[in-house]
Structure 1
Amino acid sequence: MWTSRPDGGPDRLLTLADGVFAIAITLLVLDLYVPRGLDADQYDQALRRLLPDLGAYALSVTVLGSFCHDHRRIFRDVREVDGQVITLSIAGLGVAALVPFPTRLLAEYGDQPVSVAVYSGAVAAMGAGQLALAAVLARRPWLRHGTPSEAGTTLYLVDSATMVVVFVATVPLALVMGSYAMWLWLVLVPVRGLLGRRLQKQA
């Protein structure tokens, strides 16, 4: 039977996470460019063609920034990690590193249902990984030296689960509704805003 055995502090894991999120966000920028040698009309057309890329970039920076913030939040009171925590963290970071690929699909083929479904699936997988990580750490007070876990509260877990549910629901909806399914993501703005304020009051 698997047992939790502390395997040092979380510092190296947090450093790795910061690096992965920073590289993933940097990779998003590499696809933003305007060719040289264009005349005025071609320049205007190139800028218009760049708008979907900028939209996808802004969306993914927001998503990755949110997950980076939440990852730090999850580890705020953690003093030690074990093998399962390390495995869950690396699996989640692996998905985060993959985000530039579905972002490119969304920028270039946003009108294709599969592109929206792939992007939604990637974000849902990343969210599920962080939700599992928060739940595991909430159940292991010995890794926090007995301190209460903010990320283990019901409100925080509901907040994380909301994002997962919305993006999971978008996968089949995208295959039926196409790019219109992306409007479902806007539900997260008021819901997460409300839950975030309640979390601040609880703290």
Structure 2
Amino acid sequence: MQTTLGLNRLVFFTDAVTAIAITLLILPVVDSVAKASTTGYSAGQFLAQNESQLIGLTMSFAVIARLWVSHHSTFEHVAAYNAPLMLLNIVWVFTIVLLPFPTEMISQFPTSSLTVGFYIGTMAANALVLTAMVLLVHRNPTLEDTANPISALQIFTSVAVTAAFLVALVVGVLVGPINFWALLILFVSIPAQMIYDRRAARSRAAQAEAERRCNAE
């Protein structure tokens, strides 16, 4: 029998693993500082030589933080869990744990279709699994909090971000000169969300007006 305590443990476990994964991002940089201190490098030389590593750290930190926020927002609407949701959540956690690995690879190896595909592909897999959880919860009344259901905008946003990640993956791998810059495609999802939200607002307003006129008659 699933309980509130069980759901809380699932969320706490996910938060703890995410916190560990995001902390692991900094460890290779700390090791590099320790090694550089024995070579007589200045701080400026160290920063210049490890620029790609620092950029990868910053980008991956921002990505994991954003992915966690999306996961947190989704579970704000979850009232219970079942085996499929738990399995999807474990897969989501795996993609988070995996992300420091391609992050270190892109800082240590030349940019290639493999490093780009591994890095962006891990993010795309995370977004895809989260969208699967969003749809699973929304379509299952025993899982969704009836007092705080997932909105249509949230579903659209999750699907749009996942689609953007998948497009970025294809473009980044197939168009060599673009490589990691393909992640900028994610910004396209922002105006898409705004357009969807405006259209939904107009639709709600029109429906409310139609109901008002119907009641007036």
- Aligned residue number for residue 205 of structure 2: none
- Aligned residue number for residue 60 of structure 1: 60
SS in 2 for 1:195: helix
Larger Rg: 2
Answer 1 or 2: higher relative contact order, Cα 8 Å, separation at least 6. Answer: 1
CA shift in 2, pair 1:66/1:197, >3 Å: farther
Cα displacement (A) at 1:47: 1.5
2:104 aligned partner, one-letter code: R
Distance 2:190 2:3 in 1: 33
CA contact (8 A) 2:168 2:185 kept: no
CA distances 1:32-88 after superposition (whole Å, capped 9, x unpaired) = 132213435x65332212111111111111111111111111111322111111111
- Aligned residue number for residue 92 of structure 1: 92
Cα displacement (A) at 1:17: 0.9
Pick from 170, 176, 180: which aligns with 2:178?
Answer: 180
Deviates most, 67-76 or 43-52:
43-52
Tell me the TM-score normalised to structure 1 length: 0.84
SS in 1 for 2:175: helix
Cα displacement (A) at 1:135: 0.4
1:31 aligned partner, one-letter code: P
CA distances 1:179-200 after superposition (whole Å, capped 9, x unpaired) = 523222113235336627976x
Which 5+ residue runs of structure 2 have no aligned equivalent? 202-217
CA shift in 2, pair 1:193/1:100, >3 Å: farther
CA shift in 2, pair 1:173/1:144, >3 Å: closer
Tell me the TM-score normalised to structure 2 length: 0.79
- Aligned residue number for residue 112 of structure 2: 112
SS in 2 for 1:101: helix
SS in 2 for 1:79: coil
CA distances 1:82-130 after superposition (whole Å, capped 9, x unpaired) = 1111111111111111100011112222522210111111001000110
- Aligned residue number for residue 3 of structure 1: none
CA contact (8 A) 1:117 1:170 kept: no
Distance 2:135 2:103 in 1: 28
CA contact (8 A) 2:172 2:181 kept: no
Q: Quote the RMSD (CA, aligned, Å).
A: 2.5
- Aligned residue number for residue 169 of structure 1: 167
Calculate percent identity across the aligned residue pairs.
23
Q: How many residues align?
A: 194
